[in-house]
Structure 1
Amino acid sequence: VLATLRKPKAKDRIRSFLSLLAKIVEEKKTNLIIKRKQIAGITGLSYENVVRTMSRMQKQESRRVRLW
């Protein structure tokens, strides 16, 4: 897991993290609420970088991401 989070691009770090979360949620058949600030802490990115990157990802991709 940590190896995938050390990718140089913010988009790759966030995408890897969200993919991991999606697998966990699917296995547990539950909902998961995680704040952008938490994503920043886990991925080692700044809060602002996470906000910008996730906003771009949400516009470009059909993936459903609810931002808090």
Structure 2
Amino acid sequence: MMMLIAGGTLFAYAGMLGLCQGLERHYKQVWQRACPRPLRVVLRGAGWLALMISLLLCAQAWG
């Protein structure tokens, strides 16, 4: 059960990171260049996917 919660936490962090980096201004703050549109779409999609996986892991752990 502890592994499910830890996995859920890591996927939640990765998901939020993907969503944040999918925004033009946050990407530019970190990388000092504009984010290409295809990369923004991939980052946002991966972010949402990671958040969904996090939800599934946490729901499985908590029952």
Q: State if a TM-score over 0.5 links the two structures.
A: no
- TM-score relative to the length of structure 1: 0.35
Q: Which has the higher helix share?
A: 2
Ranked by relative contact order (alpha carbons within 8 Å, sequence separation 6 or more), the top structure is 2
